[in-house]
Structure 1
Amino acid sequence: MKLSTRDADGYFARPEPERTGLLIYGGDAMRVSLKRQQVLGALLGPGADEEMRLTRMPGADLRKDAALLIDAVKAQGFFPGQRAVFVEDANDTAAPAIEAALTDWKPGDAQIVVTAGALKATSKLRKLFEGHRNAYAVGLYDDPPGRAEIERMLATAGLGAVPNDSMAVLTALATDIGPGDFAQTLEKLSLYKLGDASPVTLAEIAACAPQSTEAALDDVLNVVAEGRDGEIGPLIRRLTAQGTTAVSLCIGAARHFRILYTMASDPGGASSGAGKVRPPLFGARRDRLVRQAQNWGPDRLEMALTHLTDTDLLLRSAGQRAPAMALVERALIRLAKLGGRR
């Protein structure tokens, strides 16, 4: 049977032990993995690996030995409790072996949980689960988690006290980063708040959220935007030593100044514009960029973007012979002097 996305969230949290099997498929391997971990944890409870109630096997192995899955499904362990067989990264070549196991399944056998990548509607594996009366097929797409899903993840991480403003920031963050990064952020936040029952603050989220750029790149762009032209040279040497190229530095600078332009040109002011930036800005970084946008203003930021575009075109020009990093350094110094004017 095909399980809708809306119903799937409830099923992952409370799977039905009497089902024959479950297929979870999707193009995002991390999203599939997280849901597989959730459903197996809810189905088997703690200690499943130690008690040998969970058997894992690659889908590719079933092509060589079709009986491998049936043997695992029928095997009886030493410990009581629900059992499951997890088939990882299956595709249509494993469909015959999985079909045989589904057909031979009896109540009391281990439940069959299969994960796969993106499957077309014509996929044999997908049709096998969608057409089965006692098994489910769930397709996962790149939709960000909803509020209910985020609340469940927060509860699992032991983060109960989350004010509305912090929840809004977490919801925006979940929209703009991958599911794996978001899960790691919540895990870091949980460790950060270990033994602290106070509400989650925006500063704490900012401390745990992944950074969109390397710290060294952020340093040089902040120096440029704040008009401190004397500090640009040493920072660029540091970036060069780390392997940063002139083109990537120019692209990073253009991205930074586009963010500032978006904030500065917002009708409600830079603070209002900061709330519309994606990925979202947090804490001290948000405050710093708001100040930069206010100091520059939309007119000078437009000039800066034009200058960076010209520099980027020059770097990519076939006739360009000057050292690329020197061209970018000169452009950034000019921008810093422009930003330093009042």
Structure 2
Amino acid sequence: MKLSPREADGFFRKPDPKVPGVLIYGEDTMKVALKRQEMVLALIGPEGEAEMRFTRLTGSDLKSDKAALLDAVKAVGFFPGPRAVLVEEVSNDLAPVVKTALDDWREGDATIIVTAGALKNTSAVRKLFESSKKALAAALYDNPLTRSEIEDELKRAGIAEVGRDAMGALEVLGRELTPGDFRKTLEKVALYKLGDTAPLSVEDVDLMAPASVEADMDDVFHVLAEGRTGEIAPIMQRLAAQGVTPVTLLIMGTRHFRTLYTLASAQGGPAAGIGRLRPPLYGQRRDRILRQAQGWSVDRLEQALTLLMDTDLTLRSAGQKAPALALVERAFVRLAHLAGRR
């Protein structure tokens, strides 16, 4: 039986011990692992593994001993309480072994949890769970974290008070990070806020968010928009060392200056336009881009976009022989000089 994403989230939080087995699969292995972990904890509790009410098997275990799964499902533990058997890396040729365990399952037996990566419609393991009247199949898609998932992660991290703008910043972060990295970031936030009763702020989120190449690229575009010519060369060298290509720099730079153009040309001015940006901006980044837009005229932003476009065409031309990074750096210096004109 298939579970919808919403039904799956509810089931992982509060699994029914009368369900004999669940298949959790998806391309994002970290997301699969986190959801499996959530379900196991909700099913057997924090002491379940210590009380030997949890058994872990792999596909290779079942290939060498096809009775291992059924034996683990039927085993009687020393401690009372629900039990679970996790089976990882199950290949399609082991579907009959899993089917036997599901068919022989009786109330009070251990819940069977099977995890896998991306499975095709023709997968025997997937068909087994989807066609079952009692077992369940939950597909985890490679989508950004939803607001409810972010709220669940906040509860897990023990973060209760979150400002509205901070929640917006977390939603943006949830679109950029994998579920595992997002959880680690919240753990860092929770440690940082330990003993601090003030609501979580955008500044707190920004401070604990992981650094990235994108952050370095943001730095160079802020430098250009603010006319800080002397800082261009060091940042360009750092980005080149990180493997960022000149074409990528031009594309991202064009995006940044288009944002400034949108704000500068907005009806009511940049302050009115920034509230209509999608995706929205928060905190210090929002304030900084607003200041940049207020410092540029529409005419100079049109010149900046033309310069970026011309440089892009030069890079892509067949007869181009000059070093690409040097061309981009020269264009960026000219942009920074444009920022200094009034």
Q: Report the TM range for the smaller structure's normalisation.
A: 0.7 to 0.9
* SS of alignment partner, residue 19 of structure 2: coil
| Aligned match of 1:17 | 17
RMSD of aligned alpha carbons: 2.7
| Aligned match of 1:86 | 86
Shift in CA distance, 280/57, structure 1 to aligned 2, threshold 3 Å: farther
Question: CA separation in 2, counterparts of 1:110 and 1:38?
Answer: 17
Question: CA separation in 1, counterparts of 2:311 and 2:93?
Answer: 52
| 1:60 positional shift | 5.1
Question: CA separation in 1, counterparts of 2:135 and 2:93?
Answer: 19
Alignment check: 8 A CA contact 2:17 2:82 kept: yes
Spell out the pairing of 1:47-196 with structure 2 (5 A cutoff).
47-59=47-59, 61-175=61-175, 177-196=177-196
* SS of alignment partner, residue 90 of structure 1: coil
Shift in CA distance, 257/49, structure 1 to aligned 2, threshold 3 Å: farther
Alignment check: 8 A CA contact 2:165 2:282 kept: no
Shift in CA distance, 238/140, structure 1 to aligned 2, threshold 3 Å: closer
Shift in CA distance, 143/236, structure 1 to aligned 2, threshold 3 Å: closer
Shift in CA distance, 48/302, structure 1 to aligned 2, threshold 3 Å: farther
| Aligned match of 1:312 | 312
* SS of alignment partner, residue 3 of structure 2: coil
Question: CA separation in 2, counterparts of 1:278 and 1:182?
Answer: 22
Q: Deviations over 1:162-197 (max 9, x none)?
A: 233333443444345443343333222222212222
Alignment check: 8 A CA contact 2:8 2:138 kept: yes
* SS of alignment partner, residue 2 of structure 2: coil
| Aligned match of 1:332 | 332
Alignment check: 8 A CA contact 2:213 2:239 kept: no
| 1:102 positional shift | 0.9
| 1:61 positional shift | 4.5
| Aligned match of 2:292 | 292
Shift in CA distance, 295/84, structure 1 to aligned 2, threshold 3 Å: same
Q: Deviations over 1:86-126 (max 9, x none)?
A: 12243433312211111122333221111223334443222
Alignment check: 8 A CA contact 1:27 1:141 kept: yes
| Aligned match of 2:246 | 246
Question: CA separation in 2, counterparts of 1:280 and 1:255?
Answer: 14
| 1:244 positional shift | 4.0
| 1:46 positional shift | 0.7
Question: CA separation in 2, counterparts of 1:338 and 1:36?
Answer: 54
| 1:22 positional shift | 0.9
| 1:144 positional shift | 4.3
Question: CA separation in 1, counterparts of 2:22 and 2:120?
Answer: 17
Question: CA separation in 1, counterparts of 2:10 and 2:21?
Answer: 16
Alignment check: 8 A CA contact 1:185 1:209 kept: yes
Question: CA separation in 1, counterparts of 2:273 and 2:92?
Answer: 48
- 235-244 vs 189-198, greater mean Cα deviation: 235-244
Question: CA separation in 2, counterparts of 1:116 and 1:304?
Answer: 49
* SS of alignment partner, residue 62 of structure 2: helix
Alignment check: 8 A CA contact 2:92 2:125 kept: yes
Shift in CA distance, 241/121, structure 1 to aligned 2, threshold 3 Å: closer
Question: CA separation in 1, counterparts of 2:312 and 2:65?
Answer: 56
- 250-259 vs 274-283, greater mean Cα deviation: 274-283
Alignment check: 8 A CA contact 1:154 1:160 kept: yes
Alignment check: 8 A CA contact 1:311 1:328 kept: yes
> TM-score, normalising length from structure 1?
0.87
| 1:198 positional shift | 1.8
Q: How many residues align?
A: 342
Shift in CA distance, 274/213, structure 1 to aligned 2, threshold 3 Å: farther
| 1:226 positional shift | 0.8
Question: CA separation in 2, counterparts of 1:68 and 1:177?
Answer: 38
| 1:212 positional shift | 5.9
Question: CA separation in 2, counterparts of 1:188 and 1:127?
Answer: 41
Q: Deviations over 1:307-327 (max 9, x none)?
A: 222212322333211122221
Question: CA separation in 2, counterparts of 1:177 and 1:277?
Answer: 21
Matched to 2:51, the amino acid is E
Matched to 2:302, the amino acid is E
Unaligned segments of structure 2, at least 5 residues: none
Matched to 1:221, the amino acid is F
| Aligned match of 2:206 | 206
The sequence identity of aligned pairs, in percent, is 58
Shift in CA distance, 113/277, structure 1 to aligned 2, threshold 3 Å: farther
Shift in CA distance, 282/67, structure 1 to aligned 2, threshold 3 Å: same
Matched to 2:310, the amino acid is D
| 1:304 positional shift | 1.7
| Aligned match of 2:3 | 3
Shift in CA distance, 186/321, structure 1 to aligned 2, threshold 3 Å: same
* SS of alignment partner, residue 296 of structure 2: helix
Alignment check: 8 A CA contact 1:176 1:278 kept: no
Alignment check: 8 A CA contact 2:271 2:290 kept: yes
